[in-house]
Amino acid sequence: MVSSKLIQKCKTIDFIGNQKRLFKKEFDLKINTDSRSFKSGETFIALVGESFDGFSYLEQVLDKEASVVVFNSSLEREGLVNALEVFYPNTVFIGVRDTLLFIQELARLHIQAWKKMGLNKKVIGVTGSNGKTTHKEMIFYLLNSIMPNKVLATIGNLNNHIGVPLTIFRLTKKEDIAIIEMGMNHAGEIKSLCDIAFPEHGMITNIGAAHIEFLKSMENIFNEKASLYRSVVKNKKGQGTFVVNYDDSYLAKLKKSKGLVTYGENGGDVKVTIKNQEITFTHQKTSHIISNKNIQEHHNLKNLVGTVIFCMNMFPKKVKQIVQAASNYEQPSMNRSQWVENIFLDAYNANPSSMKVSIDSFVEIMQSKKVNLSECYFVLGDMNELGDFSREMHFQIASHAKTIGIKNITFIGRFKEYYLEGFSNPTSSYLTKNEFLDEWKEARKKYKYIFIKASRSLQLETLMTIL
């Protein structure tokens, strides 16, 4: 429940119409920012974008008996509201300086109030260049297995300046743990999300070249992601559980705190071995084995053990249950990286680190199946948001593909020429997906296994509907 009393503490408010109803009796605000799904009795917050203003849908939500409407204020709108109050006496009208700032302020107030509802309330932050959603889903599964119905997590990838507040608004008294996924495109955004959510524990998945167009260097990306760690250290005075992969050269540089635990195959506090879908490691002088036959990819098995170590450190009395849950874990279908019969598909996101890891993992799986790479076909599309690094990083990925013995490969998109500099004799290359369709139909029949990965702009997932 998001209490109506929290509005009294908001400093972004300019004026309130029908305020007697607001202060007469406490009620659940039931926040909604989408007029299309709006229901009677909810609070409508009219967000503003580059090409829209939610205020345009005010009449629509008022006719659905909105309890509260929040919008960017102006003298003109204040006059209009004075007239609307007569026709909608049961609706509270709130004009604010900026609806985005208001929704973030309200979320901050709500999570602070939620933490006071019990001594065991915990907020976990998850960020990183790749695998944020995967880690979040793994942590949710593991913790929900030991605390059924007491854990809430970000839905999908609602991990930005709007998604984080919307996730926080879902918190009720019954939940004891909130898992908040945090994404960013520009410097300062992770700190802003931390200032809203107040994480006390967390994980950084890895540091890669995602969004390097805006942050300009890997060091800047690391510094931005490390904002989560600094916030956890500050909020929990160094005691908060924080787990990172020591094999990541950037994460290995994090300044040690009492709550920081590192793991890796090549070093760290917890040494991990992964072989044939079996993970072995020693945690606090006790050896553990996780045998998970549901996950094929090496990097996802490594992700799994990282989240296991995280959950073990948060709940040391539940170690056995956590290990058992990890052995049974199945990756949910998130319309991201997934196997569809003989095709590995990830058309949601692509950056140099995720592309390399995915290719290497696919090749490793083929080797375990004793499938020759000549029987496999690779479709690589654009990696976006690389800016001045686009040429170099597409070249590096193509060169890597050639070095590891990939033979049948097609490049698609505006950066295909950069790929071609690193792999000069591919099967083919195309500027657009549509130009590729005839070849795709033949490739589906010809090859035993297929790998597809690209940024979302190419929409290569639609290839799955073409036979």
Quick one: pLDDT at residue 22? 85
pLDDT digits (tens, 9 = 90+) for 425-448: 999 999 999 999 999 999 999 999
State mean pLDDT over 319-346: 88
Question: Does residue 248 carry a pLDDT above 60?
Answer: yes
Main-chain dihedrals φ then ψ at residue 4, nearest 5 degrees: -65, -20
- Identify the residue whose tokens are 């639609």: 462
Write out the two tokens for 140. Answer: 């949710």
* DSSP annotation of 164: H
| Burial track 64-100 (b if 16+ CB lie within 10 A, e otherwise) | eebbbbbbbbeeebeeebeebeeebeebbbbbbeebb
Q: What is the percent of the chain with per-residue pLDDT over 70, rounded to a whole number?
A: 99
State mean pLDDT over 10-32: 92
Q: What residues pair up with 271 in beta bridges, in sequence order?
A: 264
pLDDT digits (tens, 9 = 90+) for 377-431: 999 999 999 999 999 999 999 999 999 999 999 999 999 999 999 999 999 999 9
Main-chain dihedrals φ then ψ at residue 44, nearest 5 degrees: -100, 120
First vs last C-alpha separation in the chain: 48
Write out the two tokens for 15. Answer: 């004026």
CB-based burial label for 110 (10 Å; 0-12, 13-18, 19+): buried
Q: Which domains does the chain have, with CATH numbers?
A: 4-98 (3.40.1390.10), 117-328 (3.40.1190.10), 338-465 (3.90.190.20)
Quick one: pLDDT at residue 23? 83
Cα 304 from Cα 142, distance rounded (Å) = 10
Quick one: pLDDT at residue 340? 87
Asked if 261 contacts 309 with a C-beta cutoff of 8 angstroms, the reply is: yes
Provide the pLDDT confidence category of residue 1 given band limits of 50, 70 and 90. confident
- How many other CB atoms are there within 10 angstroms of residue 287's CB atom? 8
Question: Does residue 336 carry a pLDDT above 80?
Answer: no
Question: Does residue 44 carry a pLDDT above 70?
Answer: yes
State mean pLDDT over 263-289: 95
pTM of the model: 0.92
Provide the pLDDT confidence category of residue 157 given band limits of 50, 70 and 90. confident
Asked if 154 contacts 163 with a C-beta cutoff of 8 angstroms, the reply is: yes
Asked if 386 contacts 218 with a C-beta cutoff of 8 angstroms, the reply is: no
Provide the residue type at 247 as one letter: D
Cα 454 from Cα 180, distance rounded (Å) = 26
Provide the residue type at 3 as one letter: S
Write out the two tokens for 321. Answer: 């249950």
pLDDT digits (tens, 9 = 90+) for 87-102: 999 999 999 999 999 9
Cα 302 from Cα 289, distance rounded (Å) = 13
Backbone conformation region of residue 211, classed left if phi is above 0, alpha if psi is from -120 to 50, else beta: left
Q: What is the percent of the chain with per-residue pLDDT over 90, rounded to a whole number?
A: 87
Strands 343-346 and 338-340, bridge-based pairing: antiparallel
Q: What are the percentages of helix, strand and coil residues in the chain, rounded to 5?
A: 45, 20, 35
Asked if 288 contacts 280 with a C-beta cutoff of 8 angstroms, the reply is: yes
Provide the residue type at 29 as one letter: L
Backbone conformation region of residue 378, classed left if phi is above 0, alpha if psi is from -120 to 50, else beta: beta
* DSSP annotation of 315: -
Provide the pLDDT confidence category of residue 225 given band limits of 50, 70 and 90. very high
State mean pLDDT over 20-29: 89
Quick one: pLDDT at residue 348? 82
User: Among residues 199, 113, 127, which one has the least CA distance to residue 160?
Assistant: 127
State mean pLDDT over 198-212: 95
Quick one: pLDDT at residue 152? 98
User: Among residues 279, 277, 276, 281, which one has the least CA distance to residue 262?
Assistant: 281
The H-assigned helical ranges of 128-277 are 132-146, 163-169, 189-197, 212-215, 218-235
Question: Does residue 334 carry a pLDDT above 60?
Answer: no
| Burial track 398-432 (b if 16+ CB lie within 10 A, e otherwise) | bebbbeeebbbbbbbbebbebbbebbeebeebbee
